[in-house]
Amino acid sequence: MYKLKLAIRYFLRRRITSLAVVAVALCVFIVVVVMTVMNGLVTEFRSKNHNFVGDCVISTDSLVGFPYYAEFIAELDKQNFVAATSGAIRSFGLLTQPNAEWNLGVEIMGINAADHIGATGFAKTLHYHALDPENVFIPSYNPTLAGCVVGIDLMPSQRNHSGEYYHNPNPPSYKLIISCFPLTPRGGLAKAGTDLVNTLSFSYSDDTQSGLVKVDGRVIYVSFEYAQKMCGMSGETPRISAIYVKFADGAALDESCDKVRQMWRDFVEANKTRRQAFLLENVSVQSWIENRRSTIGPMEKEQTMLTLLFAMLGIITVFVIFVVFYMIISHKSKDIGILRSIGVPGRGVVELFTWFAVIVGAIGAGIGAAAGCGVLVKANNIEDWLFATFGFQIWDRSIYAIGDIPNKIELHVLAVIILSAIAASVVGALVPSIQAARKRPADALQVNSL
């Protein structure tokens, strides 16, 4: 009883304890805010990448593509663990406008809208066709035209001064001319003259905002048939560049990818004597994480770096708390001598200061966490205000594809941070109090001992 009572009294009566509380609170505050924002950014970024490609990608880096895809897609669609599939053409092309004197290298993505919205998060990135994504290639101002979906950063300045995108109520009508490089199965440029069409005119139908810089700034979606034709992949043995697969709910990612991988190996084996079978050799089966590794990797590295930096900050915190407690408890050496002289066991002294540390740690962590949550909840308001008042933006939206500052507080992360702070306080208190409790009372009573 005396332990808790004295612990509370020490807490209330010593001004230096408020320093310890502030130290703990500050550290918890910083860690909560940075961890939440950083975690949020990474999670958001991962989910954007996930949206872009679905769960599993069967693709080739060769611009020539691979044949017999329809049979494999049919096989995939039979599987229970597969929810949806989408075959796609991916290639490069030149973009221009009628009578314009400029052209721009872009990435062409040919998809079947209905398939693609099933297999990926494509639908979520659309604006004018958010409600009828399957009709995304039908321009609303003239349904007879062949539509295209343009990466939002390819559009001429669709942002306001604070970097937010805006849209006119109705899609603007303009034509875009796309030229592709049709390739033979061997990778040569297909000879012109036959029935080759490598240039087509499309009408703007919608834009796509995936949040991925390389997609939004480079990709144009057109419907599958056009793309296949323009890339020279139609014809007798039609080819494709990639198959995107979405797995059924509850299907384990790696396991399902392994199954697809095995299916693909069997498929290659079964078809190895057919024409152009060599093209099947260059195809890889990857989970979305493997497929987007090069994009996600740097971000995750950054997160690891930050976590490491904060681990160091954590060590400094523990040290600061340790020093504060060391000073407080050294200051209390006489009290420890008194307590020991009236028969308080050494264990009791240690418990007393452990309580003290728990009180300081809990209150400090509570204040820090509350302040952190408060700032996070208001983070976007604060940023808006900063921008409105000082023109200051934490993330320049013309560079970062971030809508809002992520501020979703993970309760378990919060709990871990708070408990760690309390643990740090206890560790900081444990060492000096054990030291003091070990002393002979007569020594501890030496008034000026430190």
In angstroms, how far is the first alpha carbon of the chain from the final one? 27
Q: Name residue 368's beta-bridge partners.
A: none
The tokens describing 123, both together, are 């639908």
Q: Which is nearer to another protein, 14 or 124 (CB)?
A: 14
Of the two residues 186 and 440, which places its CB atom closer to another protein in the complex?
Answer: 440
If you write DSSP's letter for every residue of 216-258 in order, what string do you get?
HTTEEEEEHHHHHHHTT--SSS-EESEEEEEEPTT--HHHHHH
Indicate the residue among 14 and 175 with the shorter CB distance to another protein: 14
| Residue 162, C-beta contacts closer than 8 angstroms, at least 6 positions apart | 387, 393, 397
Query: Shortest gap between Cβ of 41 and another protein (angstroms)?
Result: 47
Q: Which is nearer to another protein, 238 or 348 (CB)?
A: 348
When the beta carbons of 191 and 438 are compared against another protein, the nearer one is 438
Minimum Å distance from CB 364 to another protein? 20
3-state class of 264 per DSSP? helix
Closest CB 330 distance from another protein, rounded Å: 16
Q: Which is nearer to another protein, 18 or 262 (CB)?
A: 18
Q: Note the residues at the interface with another protein (CB under 8 A).
A: 1-2, 4-6, 9-10, 12-13, 334-335, 337-346, 348, 440-443, 445, 447
Q: How far is the CB of 36 from another protein (least distance, A)?
A: 38
Separation CA 98–CA 107 (nearest Å)? 19
Q: How far is the CB of 44 from another protein (least distance, A)?
A: 49
The DSSP output letter for 195 is: S
Q: Torsions phi, psi of 438, nearest 5?
A: -75, -25
Query: Are the C-beta atoms of residues 219 and 106 closer than 8 Å to each other?
Result: yes
Residue (266 or 443) nearer to another protein, CB: 443
Q: How far is the CB of 435 from another protein (least distance, A)?
A: 17
Cβ-based burial of 246 (10 A; exposed 0-12, middle 13-18, buried ≥19)? buried
- In whole angstroms, the minimum distance from the beta carbon of 342 to another protein comes to 5
**Cα angle: 49, vertex 133, 59; to 5 degrees:** 40
What is residue 220's three-state secondary structure? Answer: strand
